[in-house]
């Protein structure tokens, strides 16, 4: 028979799609793994940088001094208290 109708076209299309999918799937898996690894390194970098930043109470104290809410003497004594304990 000569194959009239859609039978040959659909099977050819499905075969092409399955071949394309079989080529793209490993690439997508590799890209996903690389993305996850990069996200983990970025998160670790943010955590390690955050540990070396100025402590939150000291930042608040500096803002209060900059806004003129406390005097220089108060700032100095409060800063010493914070750094000691």
At 25 the pLDDT is 93
At 32 the pLDDT is 96
Tokens (6 digits) for 14: 């499905």
pLDDT for 31-81, tens place per residue? 999 999 999 888 877 665 555 566 688 888 999 999 999 999 999 999 999
φ, ψ for residue 25, nearest 5 deg: -60, -50
Q: Check: CB of residue 61 under 8 Å from CB of residue 78.
A: yes
Helix axes 72-84, 56-66, angle to 10 degrees: 180
pLDDT for 66-78, tens place per residue? 999 999 999 999 9
């Amino acid at each position: 028979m000569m194959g009239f109708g859609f039978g040959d076209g659909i099977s050819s299309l499905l075969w092409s799609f399955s071949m394309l999918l079989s080529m793209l799937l490993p690439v997508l898996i590799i890209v996903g793994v690389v993305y996850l690894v990069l996200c983990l390194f970025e998160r670790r970098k943010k955590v390690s940088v955050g540990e070396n930043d100025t402590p939150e109470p000291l930042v608040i104290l500096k803002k209060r001094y900059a806004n003129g809410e406390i005097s220089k003497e108060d700032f100095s004594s409060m800063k010493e208290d914070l750094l000691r304990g």
